[in-house]
Structure formats: C-alpha cells, structure tokens
Amino acid sequence: MYPALWHLSERKEHLTDDQASSRFQTWLSIAVLGIAAFTMVTTEFAPIGLMTQMAVDLGEAPAKIGLTVTLYAWFGALSGLLAPTLVGRVPRKALLIGLMLLIAASNAIALLSPSLEALFFARFVGSVAHGIFWATVAAFAMDIAPPRQTGLATSIVFGGISIATVMGVPAVNIVGQAMGWRGAFGALSLLGLLTAFAMMVTLPNMATSVRGRKATLADALGQRSLWSIYAITALIGAVHFSAYTFAEPFIAALPGVVPAGVPVFLFAFGAAGLLGSVLGALLIDRFLHEVILCALAAMGMALIFMGTSTSVLGLVGVGACLVVWGAAISILFATLQTWVLKASGPLSTPAAAVHTAVLNAAIGIGAMTGSIMLDRWGPFTVMLGAGIGAMLPLGLALMQKGPRKQRI
C-alpha cells in the first residue's frame, strides 16, 4: 500500500486515537501483546512445573494442586463472558493494563498463600483476568494492525502461547528449583508488573466504541454462522488437552527413553509451536480455511501414529510426530481466533468472549477425559483416542465454506 493510502487507512481506523502510532510503534505494540500472552499462559500452567514442591509445602496431594489448573480454566471460561460489558465501558488500553496488573496480584497472592484455600483464591483472581484478556486481546491486535496483516498480528500474539510452552513452564521449574515455588510465583508477579508498564508505554489509546456497547453475548450466540466455529474450537480444545496434559507420562513410557530425554521431547514439541506460529503468520491471511484443514489432519494423524506405532516409529519417529503436533496446534490456536473475528464482523468482541469461554471449558473437559483414559487404558490409548477424536473437528471443518473469502 502506498504511504498516503496507508496514512488515510490508519486515520480511518483510529478515529478515536489522539496519538497516531508509526508503523514501528504499531508492531512494537503487537509484540508487547505477545509478551502479555506469554505471561498469561505461563501463569496459567505454572503449577504443572511446580506441582511436587507445592504439594509437599502445603501438605496436599498433587491431584489437589492439579485442580488449580483445571479450575483456572473453567473460571476463565466464565470470566471471558464479561468482556463485552467491560469493552463497552472501559478504554481497551486501560482494560488490558488492568488485567495484567490483576495477574501480577494473583501471582503475589500465590507467593504468600499459607494454605490450599488461599492458593485457590489466588488462582481465582488470575483466572478472572485470564478469561477477559483472551476475549479482547486478539481483537485489539487486529484493530491496530495494518490492513491485510491482521492474521500476522494475531499470530504474533498467539506466538506468546508457543513461547510459554517452550520456555515459560520450564523456566518456572528452574526458578522453583533455585528459589522454591513461592519464588517462582514472585518472579511471575514481577514479570506481570513489567509487562503492564511496557503496555502503558507502547499501546495506543483506543477509546470504547459505540458498536462495542451495542453488541451483546446474545447477539454473538444468536449468529448461527458462528456456531460451527464454536463447535470446532470446543472439539479441538478438548482433543488437544486430553493428550497434551499427559504428554509427560506418555513420553516417559516410551521404550528406550531415559528420564533426561523427557524434557528434550517436550522442548521439541514447544519449539515446533514456534515454527507453527511463524508458518501460520505467513499463510493465514490468504489461506485461512486451507490452513485449518491441513493443521487438523496433521495433528490427528500424528496422534494416531503415536498411539499405535511407537514400536515401529522408534524414538526419532515419535519425536517427529511431536513436532508435527506442536506445529499444528500452534497454527490452529491462531487461525481459529482469526476465523471467529473475521466471521463475526461488528460482533467481534462478544464473539471472541464466547469463543474464549468455549475454549477454556474445553480445556477442563479434555484434561478430565484424558485423566480417565490414562487411569483405565494407559498413555498410549490417550494419544490414540485424541487422534481419532481429531477427525470430528476435521469433518466439521470440511463441511464449512471457509472464511478465506470473508473480509474484515
């Protein structure tokens, strides 16, 4: 786009913004949103890397500590439904900064928690911020991104998820080993404060919109064209987390694997997620529907192979399947959010809220389903069941006309 046209487009898109951002500032803002996403996801899954320490210190069973992750997801699903109301009344920059400060407070409360009940309260506080954040951040990134690069913007934001998978949870574990689990939550609280400051400096001031105040959850739920997207999201979330939650015991059960090799496989999965974020950023603005179909098929086949052919594949083959799975799910997280925002049009805020609630609810359901399968049939059946389950959202996506020709 020619500079003059870009300037006019930017002014049109930011009629309520007092300080027009340069192109560099725009992408810097989007990068900071990616850092915020990293902080959110690392906070969400921090107990996974600290579970043993937390259980011993608080005198509770690890399963009870694990509930802090499940309940976090479910409360996040409910809190996300508040997003349309808040977006209509609170400037979005102030809202996002406030949510990050709430995450910092949540981690500080966890740091000081003397009991499991206090820890549950800390996680509840964080889950409220978590749900609203994910219901609003992608729409914010799309609003400030240059035209025709909205998919790239959401991929950068959702790249924070992949980076958290690669570095966040392992880093929390390392800090926990050096400073204890309370020190790890203290570090996350500090990270939240620093991120909130970076958001204060870089994010453009975008006032509330009249359109945002008029759009409601009922409008988003009543738009039938979005129902299939919600259904596909629910199925993908449940399938993925039924398997991912128990990836560590699956890897540990592989023939010939040594304990030191487990984090190597997990790192390969997370690193592939980074690759998937980059690949998705390059493709989803032009081939959104096709990317979703290919990623779903790849994830399903990888999980099926892992559940049935580990003795044939060997450790290298299983590692390759983990890489495919990691890349595919990273692509799917970004493309599904982009799809719902493109398909919803003026209902983007409430539609994103419903989408976030659906995904968070599916995370909890998937983790519980995987737990039952693990207890009854073992980790390999968990992977096989998830792979077969992935065929359901794939079939549903194949029946869709696709969002590739829709315009924001």
Q: What is the dihedral of CA 330, 333, 339, 342, to 10 degrees?
A: -100
Q: Report yes or no on whether pTM surpasses 0.95.
A: no
So where are the chain's domains? Answer: 22-202, 214-408
| Spatial distance between the Cα atoms of 89 and 106, rounded to a whole number of angstroms | 24
Residue that the structure tokens 């790249």 belong to? 159
Q: Return the exposure string of 32-42: e unless at least 16 CB atoms fall within 10 Å of the residue's CB, then b.
A: bbbbbbbbbbb
Decide: 61 and 55 in contact? Cβ < 8 Å: yes
Give the tokens for residue 349: 């805020």
**Contact 27/144 with Cβ under 8 angstroms?**
no
Which residue in the block uniquely carries the two structure tokens 């599916």?
Answer: 362
Domain 22-202 and domain 214-408, same fold? Reply is yes
Per-residue pLDDT of the chain (408 residues; tens, 9 = 90+): 333 333 333 334 444 444 444 778 888 999 999 999 999 999 988 887 677 788 889 988 766 777 787 788 888 888 877 777 776 678 889 999 999 999 999 999 999 999 999 999 999 999 999 988 987 887 788 888 887 777 778 778 877 876 786 677 778 877 888 899 999 999 999 999 999 999 999 998 876 544 444 566 777 777 888 899 999 999 999 999 888 877 878 888 888 888 777 778 878 888 888 888 788 778 877 888 899 999 999 999 999 999 998 778 889 999 999 999 999 998 898 788 788 878 887 777 788 778 878 888 888 788 888 888 887 888 899 999 999 999 999 999 998 765 444 433
The span from the CA of 26 to the CA of 240, in Å, is: 33
- The token duo for 235 is 């199925």
Residue (of 40, 36, 104, 28) closest to 72 by Cα position: 40
CATH architecture of 214-408: Up-down Bundle (1.20)
State how far Cα 240 lies from the chain centre: 12
Question: How is residue 408 annotated by DSSP?
Answer: -
Q: The tokens of 347 are what?
A: 């209902």
Cβ atoms of residues 373 and 245 within 8 Å: no
What kind of architecture, by CATH, is found in domain 22-202? Up-down Bundle (1.20)
